[in-house]
Amino acid sequence: MTARSPFARSWLFHRAGRALSARALLVVWFALASAGYAFDLQGHRGARGLAPENTLAGFMRALDLGVTTLELDVGVTKDGVAVIYHDRTLNPDITRDPSGQWLTARGAPIKDIPFAALQRYDVGRIRPGTGYAATFSQQDAVDGERIPALGALFAIVAARGVEDVRFNIETKLSPLAPEETWRPETFVRAILREVRRYKLESRVMIQSFDWRTLAILAREAPDIQRAYLTSQQPAFDTVERGRPGKSPWLAGLDADDHASIPKLVRAAGGWVWSPNFRDLTPGLVEEARELGLTVIPWTVNDWADLQRMMDWRVDGLITDYPDRARLVIESRGRVLPPMRK
């Protein structure tokens, strides 16, 4: 199936709806549903708005809610294990040490901690009183949750018998902080090892702001889907459009050599563009579609923003609130997996 297959499927669905009986239509629906879903609902770090981010408990919550894709972040430990964690260093807003005390400052880089030692930290609750806790005030804590190995997530999803969910795996490294992580090659190989072990090549997408990882992936495993993340906000601009020189995030490309960001993604060899939703316009979605790109904005949480992204006909979206997003997506007649609980 190509990147545009959701549209082909929805066209078929409407044609079939006119031509077939209700019973036949049901058969067609099941065939379409088992072949893949028409809209890609991605639960950000599981379901960050509802359950602790990047934890097995959080991913199970996202599965319950019927996401098509689990979005997650990956770091690599001192002993080379791919683990699911957002920050390059231990984050005091969500991390308690082995004695149960909140970290008082940013901790060591994941790269400097062996996997076994990392397992002693608790990431099941946001530190009360922080701005982060206020932002995600609906999040239910699950004390005792650990930083999972990527392979542990694959194992628990398989053990639950869920064979349709996909994984969108972000490599968390920065060209601006090379000392805080392993090299891009190390990330790609640590992730591929687990993906191949669980035979998930056709169900994963690897995403990054650091397009070096995507260039390596394109060489080493060209059949694995890649998503090209961009942000053009003042506080985090990975594109550096209109500024002299190249952004270090784009693996050697200069955004100013290309007429638009969709064309820049195509020049990098990408078929999936994942922009900050605030950078998107209807014209950019249209241009991306004409180029054959799939557009999956992040991180879309508010009702009005969800509605607007659906109005612009994005192909999927990444959200902290899969429950809320589901209501909006289904109100537009788009097909989602059933709730799994």
Q: Which helix (H) or strand (E) holds 275?
A: strand 272-275
Residue with Cβ nearer Mg ion (9 or 207): 207
* Phi, psi of 243, deg, nearest 5: -110, 145
Shortest reach from residue 171's CB to Mg ion, in Å: 9
Residue with Cβ nearer Mg ion (297 or 335): 297
Shortest reach from residue 199's CB to Mg ion, in Å: 24
Shortest reach from residue 107's CB to Mg ion, in Å: 20
Identify the residue whose tokens are 């990098």: 268
Residue with Cβ nearer Mg ion (32 or 150): 150
87 binds Mg ion, rule: CB under 5 A? no
Residue with Cβ nearer Mg ion (54 or 186): 54
Give the binding range for Mg ion (CB under 5 A) out of 15-23, 135-143, 169-177, 214-222: 169-177
Q: Which helix (H) or strand (E) holds 193?
A: helix 184-197
Residue with Cβ nearer Mg ion (86 or 146): 86
Shortest reach from residue 264's CB to Mg ion, in Å: 20
Shortest reach from residue 53's CB to Mg ion, in Å: 9
List the one residue out of 44, 37, 51 whose CA is nearest residue 71.
Answer: 44
Residue with Cβ nearer Mg ion (73 or 323): 73
Which residues, numbered 58-77, are part of the site for Mg ion (CB under 5 A)?
Answer: 73
Shortest reach from residue 136's CB to Mg ion, in Å: 15
**H, E, C per residue of 111-163:** HHCCHHHHCCCECCCCCCCCHHHHHCCCCCCCCCCCCCEHHHHHHHHHHCCCC
Count interface residues toward Mg ion (CB under 5 A).
Answer: 2
210 binds Mg ion, rule: CB under 5 A? no
170 binds Mg ion, rule: CB under 5 A? yes
Q: Which residues contact 228 (CB under 8 A, 6 or more apart)?
A: 207, 208, 211, 214, 265, 268, 270, 272, 273, 274
CA dihedral 189, 227, 254, 288 (to 10 degrees): 160
Using CB under 5 A, list all residues that contact Mg ion.
73, 170
